[in-house]
Amino acid sequence: MCEANRRILFCSYHCFVDYTSGAAVSGMDLLRILTERGWDCRALSGSLLDTRERPVASVLERQKFAVKQLAARLLGLKVGKIPVEIFDGAMDPNERTAEGSHEFLALLEQRLEEFKPSAVITYGGFWLGRKIISRVKRRGIATVFWLRNCSYSQRNLFDGATAIIVPSRFAADFYRNRLGIACTAIPPPMDFERLLRTDIGERHVTFVNPLSTKGVYFFVRIAAVLAHRRSDIRLLVVESRGSENSLKRAGLALDRMSNLRVMPNTVDPRDFYRLTHVLLFPSLWSETFGRVAVEAMANGIPVLASRRGGVAEAVGDGGFLFDIPEKFTAESKVIPTAAEVEPWIRIIIRLWDDAAFYEEARQRCLAAAEAFRPERLAPLYEEALYRAMD
């Protein structure tokens, strides 16, 4: 395919620059990497955020984007060299009569006509996601659906997609068995320059996004055991969709936890990686991957994770994997016993006290993370895009 035809439009009603969304962060990283390799990339998205936060302007301000008002409800900015348009309308993807939704689709039609992309990358279900695929297919443009979670239950959403990319072999197997669809497994791209810490601060055992799906109830027991047995081991919880209130609802008495601190959600993950000695990832749902785990490993931070979904695939030999009993689910909201978290506690304490053991684990992390470097993953994405555009 000639250079002139390497044009990619990302389009979804999910906000392209939502730093609380792993899918959005991966999307930004993918377009950055493709742009560096000579692709002409642009993005058009809605303002729907994982946190449902409004207005979206506050999120853009936090990321220090230079934002222009392009039209009454259309914001313009750049992510690196990538032009991005954010439709900031009252757009409910569940509401077919919402005026904003139809206005967004009209914008898509204009961009398809003007930019003439050779492929459109999208994600998100609901009726609006289907309309995006339909509008693109009608023009004979390749549609690449980036399938990022295990929540899709209807095969016909993907009927118009030229190709489907998932983050792991686990996810590919899951959807082949569930919906009978064929997916290409490629790990999420990561901009290492954006996530590698440049200094190291006070050591902590870190848990990101305290939600039940992410294993907050497991963390509550781990925190309680460490507070009783080793209060010198500092704990850090990083807010995202889950917050300090999530910890309280899960039964953690924060006023009694002198060794625990909570960090507000941050645009720059290096803010907490520089303070992280060990990362906990006790996920209880079918993760299609484990982006935070790989980011930590790239920083040489040992990861303790559940062996569920695509997490084991992401961590590989770079961390410590634990089998969590099936009775613990994302919906169970049950705090495990001290005995049930004891294997986690033993490794945490050894990593904290044994410098040689820690260094060995650190080197395994760095070696495992090499597989996810952008220069290794970019050719896989290019190959998938070329196949879709043929």
* 0.95 surpassed by pTM: no
Place of tokens 């006509």: 113
The reported pLDDT for the residue numbered 97 is 56
Helix axes 22-36, 374-389, angle to 10 degrees: 80
The reported pLDDT for the residue numbered 256 is 87
For the chain, give the percent of residues with pLDDT over 70: 96
Q: Is the pLDDT of residue 1 over 80?
A: no
Enclosing H/E stretch for 91: none
Q: Is the pLDDT of residue 92 over 80?
A: no
Q: What's the chain's average pLDDT?
A: 93
Q: Count the alpha carbons within 13 Å of 337 in the hemisphere toward its beta carbon.
A: 4
Amino acid at 252: L
Which residue, among 155, 141, 33, has the nearest Cα to 82 in the 3D structure?
A: 33
Total residue count of the chain as it appears in this document: 390
DSSP letter string, 220-268 = HHHHHHHHHH-TTS-EEEE-SSS-HHHHHHTT--GGG-TTEEEE---S-
Q: Is the pLDDT of residue 3 over 80?
A: no
Burial of 249 (0-12, 13-18, 19+ CB in 10 A): middle
* DSSP for residue 135: H
Pairing type for strands 68-71 and 74-79 reads antiparallel
- Of the two residues 19 and 174, the one the predictor is more confident about is 174
55 band by pLDDT with thresholds 50, 70 and 90: confident
216 band by pLDDT with thresholds 50, 70 and 90: very high
C-alpha to C-alpha distance for 315 and 306, rounded to whole angstroms: 10
Q: Which two tokens stand for residue 345?
A: 């506690």
Q: Is the pLDDT of residue 2 over 60?
A: no
The reported pLDDT for the residue numbered 250 is 92
C-alpha to C-alpha distance for 310 and 188, rounded to whole angstroms: 12
241 band by pLDDT with thresholds 50, 70 and 90: confident
The string of pLDDT tens digits covering residues 153-163 is 999 999 999 99
Give the start-end residues of each E strand in 50-189.
68-71, 74-79, 82-87, 119-122, 142-146, 163-166, 184-185
